[in-house]
Amino acid sequence: MVMNLRNSLNNKSIGVIGIGSFGTVIANILAEKNEVIVYARNPEVVEEINQRHMVEGKKLHLRIKATDDPEYICDRCDILFPMISSSGFTEVMRKFSPFLHPYHLLIHGTKGLCLDLPPGKSLEDVQQINRENIYTMSEVIQNETVVVRIGCLAGPNLAKELEVGQPAATVIASRYDEVILEGQRLLRNDNFQVYGNKDIIGVELSGVLKNIIAIAAGALAGMGLGENAKGLLISRGMVEMIHLGKALGGSTNSFIGLAGVGDLVTTCSSTFSRNYTVGYKLAQGENLELIKQGMEETAEGINTVRLVKLFIEGKDLRAPITETLYRVLFEGYKVELALQYLMKIPLNVDVDFLED
């Protein structure tokens, strides 16, 4: 379905790929300054946006139009914001790849990881993986397209709060100053501050790994435990994130910034967080598969726990929160036993990553 509107080269629209809750928020923020084209796979969603300026009951800015044609949006937008789940990210990039060029600039907002498996292998066939088997979303874009100028968007950005204009901030990370500056120019407004960071892998990993700790925080809340226990979990979770992040190629500085500790504190404290909700419901005795079926969007932390557990197998890495949560999610380990175990782990040092 192709729209009739065509902008001049000097006044191109900004593209958003995906129109979930976060994609909708980003599209509305972008539309405050620019014409926006969003990509949706479902023609009925495209029609609803173009005819009613609505999607899933949410109001869209009048400057937002929609299409289900990848070639159309790539032709009319030099800057694109992919806002899709990690499970579908590779497929979408492959679909868009024939229409993307080196002049395009992509800034994604996906907090997940992809696994590169040998042909014919499934996740259940794998006992151990290395860093070269794990891709962040910026690495997927590099692998699947000719796009060079790549960035990511990460931070404490709960969509439900952004929808109503509550103050927030985010980080645009990229190796390219131009990507950071363009992201700041397009997104910054009176209620939305945008910082920059050159460590794109560290920022991506910050947004990914904090989802593990958010599931654990939800479980803690579901058990009815208090703020002292939450403070313990968040602080130990921060240390675990940094050790894992460094092993995966990130910098410590990124983890103690807005995309790391800022996002961690937010998602470990909010019922708006999908990962927190998973943990909470698990602690209430609900079945994981039923929890997943009842969620409108993906809780990325579930897949992240599985991939990180495979990554640390056979390596000199200890990640007790991740390992214990894996047992809860995939081996039927009781939440209350998991929390008791984590409370008893003998740790002799509070903070050790600053000495490396």
Q: Supply the DSSP string of 70-131, one letter for each residue.
A: HHHHHHHEEEEEE---HHHHHHHHHHHGGG--TT-EEEE-----EE-PPTT--GGG-S---G
Percent of the residues in the chain that have a pLDDT greater than 90, as a whole number: 77
Q: What is the mean pLDDT of residues 235-251?
A: 92
Percent of the residues in the chain that have a pLDDT greater than 70, as a whole number: 94
Give the three-state DSSP class for 173. strand
> What local confidence, expressed as pLDDT, does residue 57 receive?
87
Q: Read off the pLDDT band of 8 (50, 70, 90).
A: very low
> What local confidence, expressed as pLDDT, does residue 226 receive?
86
Question: Rounded to whole angstroms, how far apart are CA atoms 58 and 47?
Answer: 14
> What local confidence, expressed as pLDDT, does residue 18 receive?
96
Annotated active-site residue 160? The verdict is no
Mean pLDDT of the chain: 90
Q: What is the mean pLDDT of residues 244-259?
A: 92
Question: Rounded to whole angstroms, how far apart are CA atoms 90 and 208?
Answer: 17
Q: Hey, what are 245's tokens?
A: 């992040």
Please choose, from the candidates 86, 322, 330, 113, the residue with its C-alpha nearest in 3D space to the C-alpha of residue 212: 322
Phi, psi (rounded to 5 degrees) for 217 = -65, -40
Q: What is the mean pLDDT of residues 297-302?
A: 89
> What local confidence, expressed as pLDDT, does residue 356 receive?
45
> What local confidence, expressed as pLDDT, does residue 339 receive?
84
Residue recorded with tokens 């990325």? 300
> What local confidence, expressed as pLDDT, does residue 352 receive?
60
Which position among 111, 210, 281, 309 bears the catalytic label?
210
Residue recorded with tokens 């629209």? 13
pLDDT at 2 over 60: no
Whether domain 9-198 has CATH 3.40.47.10: the reply is: no
pLDDT at 247 over 70: yes
> What local confidence, expressed as pLDDT, does residue 350 receive?
59
Q: What is the mean pLDDT of residues 123-131?
A: 82
Domain positions in the chain are: 9-198, 202-355
Handedness of CA 54, 58, 61, 63 (dihedral sign): negative
> What local confidence, expressed as pLDDT, does residue 343 receive?
76
Phi, psi (rounded to 5 degrees) for 151 = -140, 170
Q: What is the mean pLDDT of residues 292-309?
A: 91
Helix (H) / strand (E) element for 292: namely helix 288-293
Give the three-state DSSP class for 347. coil
Question: Rounded to whole angstroms, how far apart are CA atoms 278 and 247?
Answer: 27
Tell me which of 1.10.1040.10, 3.40.30.10, 1.10.3720.10, 1.20.120.1200 is the CATH number of domain 202-355. 1.10.1040.10
To the nearest 10°, report the CA torsion of 222, 226, 230, 231. Answer: 180
**E strands within 188-276?**
192-197
Handedness of CA 270, 213, 295, 254 (dihedral sign): positive
Q: Which residues contact 340 (CB under 8 A, 6 or more apart)?
A: none
Query: Per-residue pLDDT tens for 168-197?
Result: 999 999 999 999 999 999 999 999 999 999
> What local confidence, expressed as pLDDT, does residue 349 receive?
58
**Residue 151 · residue 183 · CB < 8 Å:** yes
pLDDT at 163 over 80: yes
> What local confidence, expressed as pLDDT, does residue 4 receive?
38
Q: Which residues contact 337 (CB under 8 A, 6 or more apart)?
A: none
> What local confidence, expressed as pLDDT, does residue 353 receive?
52
**Residue 168 · residue 157 · CB < 8 Å:** yes
